[in-house]
Amino acid sequence: MKLTILGGGGFRVPLVYGALLGDRAEGRVTDVVLHDLDAGRLSAVARVLAEQAAGVPGAPAVTATTDLDEALRGADFVFSAIRVGGLEGRAADERVALDQGVLGQETVGAGGIAYGLRTVPVAVDIARRVARLAPDAWVINFTNPAGLVTEAMSRHLGNRVIGICDSPVGLGRRIARVLGVSNPREAWIDYVGLNHLGWVRGLRVAGRDELPRLLADPDLLGSFEEGKLFGTEWLRSLGAIPNEYLHYYYFNREAVRAYQDAEKTRGAFLRDQQAGFYEAMKRPDAEALETWDSTRAEREATYMSENRDAAGAGERDADDLSGGYEKVALALMRAIARDERTTLILNVRNQGTLSVLDTDAVIEVPCLVDANGAHPVTVDPLPDHATGLVCAVKAVEREVLAAAESGSRTTAVKAFALHPLVDSVNVARRLVEGYTAEHPGLAYLK
Ligand code: G6P
Ligand code: MN
């Protein structure tokens, strides 16, 4: 079983490899091919993987290449976790938006649109190559903005591309934990929306919805990440638990201010932190795994810290530090490769699940997964305010896809202007000016 990882020199690859090392079952991944544009990053990550594999019998063999077509040929699974423009690009996405007084987060609002505009053409090229060189492969997309990028790829790969994100899984796990559900697998999480824009409306254990019990108990509700971030009163008003990324919508003004006041934005912090890691890996005597692990721990501890500061939410719970992104990826691969049926929250084509969206719109929803792929389950409709946001953001995503296809600057302006978190058409125009001046990857917009 061959797994190709695009963005193979990326910082989170050791998480995925670590999960593979723990998989002893028949039919597991035996060969990992790392692909990256940057040979230096590949060798840094390969060093970490080699230390992880030391002493593990049957550890998957690792090879690395900068040749994309070679990496794709013969792949059974392709993980795509690329970052077009690097972390420098992420920092620029934030800066340009904040200069205009709007949010520059990598997946939400103006920053997400800018990141999408430069990522979609690259993702489409990858999808076309997969369709040609590895037509039977399953593509698991981690590349953010994950919903939009998955939809772009699905136009060439159909249902063979599946998008993943760990934030709904983390959310479900936290709710199950505070409700005292010992095995989160026993809980059915009623969640739906778009990537980074979804809501938990219920959590059923043995057929009984336990969410009302949580919403009715302020102490319980205030005891976990989303309760602290959104405040118990707002969660009770909503009657649902939103994905943590909804904080950028419901508390937009505070989030923008916290980002503006921060010494460094998230992208700038990670850019500098990771530069330190990759630099250290050039030293022949570097302790690769140890250095990687302490860098990872620092990254996880500071995740969404501006939002938590703005909300007065304090430190993250130790139990929440590890997102579990690699676990979702492995569970998905196992379910498909071995027909080990399971339920996972994934980004797939709507296919009638949300009646307000068309059939090809990629949404985030619990899916039954088996050897034939991921099948969205039937869910209750969203309440009106959530439907409004989902439709507005999907319309923006469609403008991004149209701009990426046509190269139209006017369409790019429309994408920014229609986003609920961009408050003026003039701001949208200035964003397009600012982003095209920053990013060579947006030179195609005419
Ligand atoms: C969450 C999100 C991912 C994101 C990750 C890392 O898990 O769901 O989409 O990539 O956080 O965020 P960071 O700010 O550390 O890059
Ligand atoms: Mn995500």
CATH architecture of 2-163: 3-Layer(aba) Sandwich (3.40)
Instruction: Give me the helices (H) in 281-424, please.
Output: 288-301, 305-311, 325-338, 384-406, 409-418
| Dihedral class, residue 190 (left if φ above 0, else alpha if ψ from -120 to 50, else beta) | beta
User: Relative to the CA of 107, which ligand 1 atom is closest?
Assistant: 9
Which residues line ion ligand 2, judged by CB < 5 Å?
165
Query: What DSSP designation does 227 have?
Result: H
pLDDT of the residue at 76: 98
Domain limits of the chain? 2-163, 168-250, 252-311
The ligand with the least distance to the CA atom of 15 is 1
Query: What is the per-residue pLDDT across 75-94, written as a single tens digit (0 to 9) for each?
Result: 999 999 999 999 999 999 99
Residues of the chain with pLDDT below 70 are 323
Q: Indicate which ligand has the atom closest to the C-alpha of 12.
A: 1
Our mutation pick for probing the ligand 1 site, out of 106, 141, 307, 364, counting the most ligand atoms within 8 A of Cβ, is 106
> Cα separation of 158 and 432, whole Å?
31
Q: Are strands 161-163 and 138-141 parallel, antiparallel or unpaired?
A: parallel
How many CB atoms are located within 10 Å of the residue 372 CB?
A: 10
User: Which residues have CB under 6 Å of ligand 1?
Assistant: 144, 165-167, 266, 270, 299, 303, 323, 325
The predicted pLDDT at position 317 comes to 85
Ligand with an atom nearest the CA of residue 324 = 1
- How far apart are the two ends of the chain, measured CA to CA in Å? 43
**pTM assigned to the model:** 0.98
pLDDT for 256: 96
Of 173, 226, 303, 345, the residue with max ligand 1 atoms within 8 A of its CB, to mutate for a pocket test, comes to 303
Strands 31-35 and 61-65: parallel
Q: Whose CA is nearest to atom 2 of ligand 1?
A: 167
| Helix residue spans in 100-166 (DSSP H) | 109-133, 146-157
Residue ranges of the alpha helices (H) in 231-350?
232-238, 247-250, 252-261, 266-280, 288-301, 305-311, 325-338
pLDDT attached to residue 323: 67
Distance 135 CA to ligand 1 centre (A): 29
